[in-house]
Structure formats: C-alpha cells, structure tokens
Amino acid sequence: MRYFFVTTPIYYVNDKPHIGHAYSTIIADSVARFKRLSGYRVFFMTGTDEHGLKIEREAAARAVTPRKLADDVHTKFKDLFKLLNISFDRFIRTTDPDHESTVQTAFKKLLEKGDVYLSEYEGWYCVPDETFLTEKSLVEGNCPQCGRAAARVKEKSYFLKLGKYESRLLDYIESHPGFIKPSFRKNEVVSFLKEGLNDLSISRTSFVWGIPVPGDENHVIYVWFDALLNYLTGIGFGDYLKYGNKNGGETFLRFFKTANHVVGKDILKFHSVYWPIMLFALDLPLPETIFAHGWWLMDNKKMSKSLGNVVDPLDLISEYGADALRYYLLREVPPGLDGDFNPDNFITRYNSDLANDLGNLVSRSAAMLAKYMGGEIPGASAGEDNPLLSFADDLAGGLNERYDNYEFSKILEDAFRFVNMVNKYINDNAPWKLNPEEEDGLKTLKKILRTAFVSIYYASYFIYPFMPETSGKINALLNVGPFEFENVKIERGGGLKGFAGGIFNRAHKINMDEKARGVLFPKK
C-alpha cells in the first residue's frame, strides 16, 4: 500500500476565509483526489489555528471569548470547504483535545532532552503575523512582511535550540532536492539558514489564550509551535507514542514520511526551518515536500483580511459554481508564482474555456448522439481516430510527474488543449453533413461519435481532480460511475491505455434524461 499525506496550512480564526485560503485548500484537494485515483491511501488534512494573541485580541474587540470566536469562525471555513467539495479526511482545530495533548507531550519531550530551556525574550514581535522579529529586519519600525507596527516585548520565555540543528538542516535541504518546491524557493531558505539562527522563543507569558506549558502554567505555548504540530496529531501521533510501530502506531510514520505540506510563500520559513528542526529534535523524519505557492493579489497588493482587499469566495461560488472557482485559481497561475485576481479575466475564462469549449463539446456531442444514434455510443468495432486518443494517452502518462511538481496550470492547459482538439476534430469532420442512411455515411458517423465520446471521457478524467462536480455530471451523462481507483486502475506512470476502451468496448447508451443533458456552464 502506498501512502500519501497532504496538508494545508491551518487558518487563523480571526476572520472569515477569502480566496487565498480557498486556493491552498483547492491545491491540496486536487492532489489528494489525483493520488486517490492512482491507488494511494491518502490522508488529507486541513483545519484552523485557534490560539494566540491575535485571536485573543480579535475576540476582545468583538466582546466574545476566544473560544466563542473560534467556534463561530471555524464553521465558516468548514462551510466554505463543503461548498468547494474539499475532500478532507480531518478538519483539525488546535483546540481539539488530542492536539493539545500532542503539543504538551512534544514540549515536555524537548524540555527533558535539553533542546528547550527557560530564559528571557527581549525584542520585537508582529502580532498579525505572530512572528518574532530581529531589530535589523524592521523597516522603519514595522514588520518587514506585512508592514504593520512591530511591538516591543520583554518577558520570560522558553526557547528551542535552533543552532544545534542548523547544519544538519542545511545538509538535508542540499541532499533532498524535492524537499522545497518549487526549487527556486530553496535558495531563499538556504541563505536564511546561512545567516545563522537565533534560538526560537516558544512560549509567552503576557496573555492567556494558548496551550499551557506543562508544569509552568504562567506560560502559554507559542502559537506556531502549537500550530505546526497539527501535522502530527491528525495522523495518529498519540497512537505512535503509546504503541510505537505497532497496533496502528505504524501508520503514523508511514503517512508522515510522505507528507506534502501545501503552504503560502509567506509561511515557508516556518515550514522549512522551524518545523524540520522541531522534527529533528523530536527524532522524527522530515516531510517529503513543502510546496510554497504564491499569493493572490488584488491591484498588485497581497489579498489579505487586514488590508480589506479580499474577494469573497462565496460570491463567486453562488454566481458561477465551485468548479469555476477551482478551475480559475489553478489554471491561472504557474506553480509558486503570484497571480492578480481580475474579475473580468475570471468571467472571460468561465465563458470561453468552461461554457464554450468544454460545455459545448459535451452538449453538442450529446445532441448529435441523440439525433443520429438514439443516444448510443457505438462500440469499439466502429473504430476510432487514434491520433486524438494517443494524445490523451500521452497526457495521462505524464500526469504523475506534473502533479509531483504541482504544475496544475500546465495540466489544465493541456486538458483544455485536448478539449479544443476534440472540438476541432468534430468541426473538421462535420458529422452533420454525413448521411446516416448511406452505409459509408453511417460508418463514418459512428467512428466520429465514438471518438468524440471516448475523448469526452478522457477529458472528464483530466478535469476530475480540479472540477469533481463537473466530471461527475459528465460521467452521469455518459452513464458510467464516478472515477475511482477500482474502476480506473491507472498505475503510476501507466497512462490511460485501455481504460476508456474497457467501458466503451460495446455499444453503450448514455443517459438521455433532460436533467443529465443539462447545460454544464450557463453563459454569463
């Protein structure tokens, strides 16, 4: 059994989600869906980061308890993810009891080991980013990342020894080229490491909303130390601690070694420096990959709750559907780069790619099949046009590598190139000009329609991880089940050969219900 663990950042509950949060989550969901289809045992986790000063302050501003704020806002993330068809296996909250226990256990372990020690922190802190800052990194007294005023802090604190693991981490990063993706981000991390690391403060005493330090309850554990450990809690760290590598504990390590952490570039340092060092200190293996995506910008500024320039995903979903949003976000931007969210561009893509190219291909093919074949896709004996299907097979064969490199925009570009090749094939062959009353005419018509429908099935497969609802509708129209490993059996690197042929070997009637033949994407 091959395992695959994929995660999103866990999101702060100071405000409702925007499309930046939707983006990371859709990326992880698409990968999870592809891996499941490829036969992996997948665990996909997302959730909310609920502790810390930022949440405590927001709750005070709203005159509610932090707990109440977290209870209310985390449901907004859950509701959004439901609308977006996010197939997570666990939605973790850092206030979940099993997580609190992970954090306290880890803290205690490191304290006993001597990798955590008590001292005093004096320096700068950015509350919105929940980040300690060095004096020299400040830009006119402000946080270099978000531009907001940094606060001066002086308080007792526990520290994690980072220097002890610095060179081990450098070696690890150099010898594991797939650890940080895209590769151009690796250099940033390496130069940060080469500057030398100060030990990391991992507890606070000036507020209370956090997990208490075991045995020293004046301190609450630093929100990032708490948050990063969610990746262990969700896959059974508790069982691993209790039973080691047996009685279910072994699945913990199996999953964790395959971890792919999908994060925004803003939090790459936490994931590629602090997190690995925490894992070294805990004697655990490192995740397989940290994939840092870029930012969605609005008028060239990072979309963010505090800047107030956010796009509400709920508006887009209610107007265009979840799949349109999923498609746009993953199609538009190459891996790791920023994207400018442009509403006109969104509508253009919707109308041209989804309504015209894909939607029309499906509806006009179904109309022709109804008209000429009584809704029956001719069997393999009708023959097919191989260049088109070979192109699809080649695309399918390259998918694993593309997914491994998070190259969604390329996958979707190719999928829609294929859709347009099928449209062109139909236009060039003009089946409506053929006479089905004549033997030759009927033969050619059968071949064209068969080719079109096998192609539509391929297209449905290509888009499935990104647009599961649309793919489901196409499969329902084709009268075949949803894509699952058991009925698709696509082996790693093996492509699709035979997969469409298998189902469509014999003549196969599509679903002629009006509902099944409904428009996929109404024009806007």
Please give the distance of CA 424 from its chain centroid, rounded to a whole number.
Answer: 33
| SS3 call for 158 | strand
Question: What is the SS3 assignment for 327-354?
Answer: HHHHHHCCCCCCEECCHHHHHHHHHHHH
Nearer residue to ligand ME8 within complex by CB, 409 or 475: 409
Beta bridge partners of 261: 7, 290
Considering only residues 4, 5, 21, 448, which one is a binding residue for ligand ME8 as defined by CB under 6 A? 21
Stretch that binds ligand ME8, among 8-16, 242-250, 455-463, 472-480 (CB under 6 A): 8-16
| Using rule CB under 6 A, residue 226 touches ligand ME8 | no
| Shortest reach from residue 271's CB to ligand ME8, in Å | 7
| Using rule CB under 6 A, residue 24 touches ligand ME8 | yes
Cα radius of gyration rounded to whole Å, the chain: 26
Mark residues 280-319: x for contact with ligand ME8 by CB under 6 A, - for none: ---------------xx-----xxx---------------
| SS3 call for 383 | coil
* Location of structure tokens 């405590």: 56
**The pair of three-digit structure tokens given for residue 116, joined into one six-digit string:** 């955590």
Q: Count of residues binding ligand ME8 (CB under 6 A)? A: 20
423 closest CA partner among 459, 475, 395, 473: 459
Q: In angstroms, rounded to a whole number, what is the distance separating the alpha carbons of residues 40 and 485?
A: 9
Q: In angstroms, rounded to a whole number, what is the distance separating the alpha carbons of residues 153 and 140?
A: 17
| Shortest reach from residue 287's CB to ligand ME8, in Å | 12
Nearer residue to ligand ME8 within complex by CB, 27 or 480: 27
Mark residues 171-210: x for contact with ligand ME8 by CB under 6 A, - for none: ----------------------------------------
Beta bridge partners of 180: 290
| Using rule CB under 6 A, residue 360 touches ligand ME8 | no
| Using rule CB under 6 A, residue 332 touches ligand ME8 | no
Q: In angstroms, rounded to a whole number, what is the distance separating the alpha carbons of residues 423 and 353?
A: 12
Q: What CA dihedral angle connects 72, 77, 80 and 85, to 10 degrees?
A: -130
| Shortest reach from residue 296's CB to ligand ME8, in Å | 4
Amino acid at 11: Y
Nearer residue to ligand ME8 within complex by CB, 316 or 355: 316
The residues in 41-80 that bind ligand ME8, with binding defined as CB under 6 A, are: 49
Nearer residue to ligand ME8 within complex by CB, 189 or 389: 189
The residues in 426-455 that bind ligand ME8, with binding defined as CB under 6 A, are: none
- Give 391: exposed, middle or buried? Use CB within 10 Å, 0-12, 13-18, 19+: middle
Q: Which residues bind ligand ME8 (CB under 6 A)?
A: 9-12, 20-21, 23-24, 49, 227-228, 263-264, 266-267, 295-296, 302-304
